[in-house]
Copies of this chain bind each other. A is one copy, B any other.
Amino acid sequence: MKTRQWLLADHPRGRPLREEDFRLVEAEISDDPGPGRMLLQTLWLGFDPAQKGWAENVADYVAPMRIGDVMRGSGIARVVRSRHPRFAEGELLVGLTGWTEWLVSDGIGFERVHPGLPPLAMLSVLGTTGLTAWCGLFKLGEPRPGDTVVISGAAGATGSTAGQLAKVAGCRVIGIAGGPEKCAWLVDEAGFDAAIDYKNEEVRPRLKELAPRGIDVVFDNVGGQILDDMLAEIATGARVVICGGISRYETGVLPAGPQNYFNLVFRRGTMRGFIVLDWASEFPAIRQRLADLVNAGRLRWRVDEQQGFENAPRTLMRLFRGENRGKQVLKVAD
């Protein structure tokens, strides 16, 4: 049988992503999966800024991507034919499907969607997004009640989850996002205490105003000037969590490093990075907590659903232009 696939056509290093970095092809796969294997149909693809790093081949915590590889990415797939001992036909799984409409898999790296929430939650609040927010915030940020937490890229899927989790943990939460609509959503819907619109406001004076005793936890998804502004306003003993650096991807070149890193000395601060996979053994337990919070109405999530497999590269590029509202997904099949 035939399947459409998006292959990596070029490494987007040192420049923004382009549609021509990917090539749409038709490939032949067997419709008999073979012993121990299964035929999967991709229903949704999920998108994440880290995918640009994978395509650049600079993220050495994952296997390198080569030109001609099927573009790597998460998805939700239905088991259409199974000779796999654990997964039955009709089940919905989540895993690294890659950008392909159909695939044959031995099941490694796939798991069932969580029963307590709609399937798309597995690409969002219960997926790497939600787990990243949880682990970054609680394992590195160590928020305590009354702490002031500032989140950049706050309207993104990870940022908005981290901010809501910090609220649950008794903190005062300020989000930084681009544009009045995102900022209004943060305060009105996601329950943030305040939001700063970096496109229309000066970030540093607003931080001074909103966090007069300094920032206890920085949760940074952006890097560049916004990270520098946050570092300038940290409180004594601050924890600075480096979760992402979308400003790096947007321009395609490394932004200037944070000149105010030396404030880590004056404020006895800690700046840390992490790879969420290091805590994989804890994911089931963390997922259950996240699902409970969603069901209790204390954690909102939203997806930005685009349509059509042929739009995969364009959908990924939405992230770097800040066009997505919530977790970016693409519906590929019903």
Contacts and interface: CB of A to CB of B under 8 A. Distances in A.
A270 B268 contact: no
Interface in A26-64: 59-61
Contact of A273 (B228, B243, B268): B268
Total copies of this chain within the assembly: 2
B260 A257 contact: yes
Given A261-B257, A262-B245, A273 B278 contact: no
B270 A271 contact: yes
A278 B268 contact: yes
Contacts of A3: none
A122 interface: no
A262 B272 CA distance: 9
A173 interface: no
Given A269-B272, A271-B271, A259 B257 contact: yes
A280 interface: no
A267 interface: yes
Given A254-B259, A258-B258, A274 B278 contact: no
Nearest to A272: B270
A269 B271 CA distance: 8
Looking at A223, A256, A270, A271, the one whose CB has the most chain B CB atoms below 10 A away is A271
A177 to B, nearest CB: 21
B273 A262 contact: yes
Contact of A262 (B228, B248, B278): B248
Looking at A61, A245, A273, the one whose CB has the most chain B CB atoms below 10 A away is A273
Contacts of A67: none
A242 interface: yes
A278 B267 CA distance: 11
A267 to B, nearest CB: 7
B262 A261 contact: no
A25 interface: no
Interface in A185-234: 223, 228
27 contacts: A59-B266, A60-B266, A61-B266, A223-B262, A228-B257, A243-B265, A244-B265, A248-B262, A254-B259, A254-B262, A255-B259, A256-B256, A257-B261, A258-B258, A258-B261, A261-B261, A262-B273, A263-B273, A265-B274, A267-B273, A268-B274, A269-B272, A270-B270, A270-B271, A270-B272, A271-B271, A271-B272
Given A265-B275, A266-B273, A268-B278, 19 more contacts: A61-B266, A243-B265, A245-B262, A248-B262, A254-B259, A254-B262, A257-B258, A257-B259, A257-B260, A258-B258, A261-B261, A263-B273, A264-B272, A265-B274, A267-B273, A268-B275, A269-B273, A271-B271, A271-B272
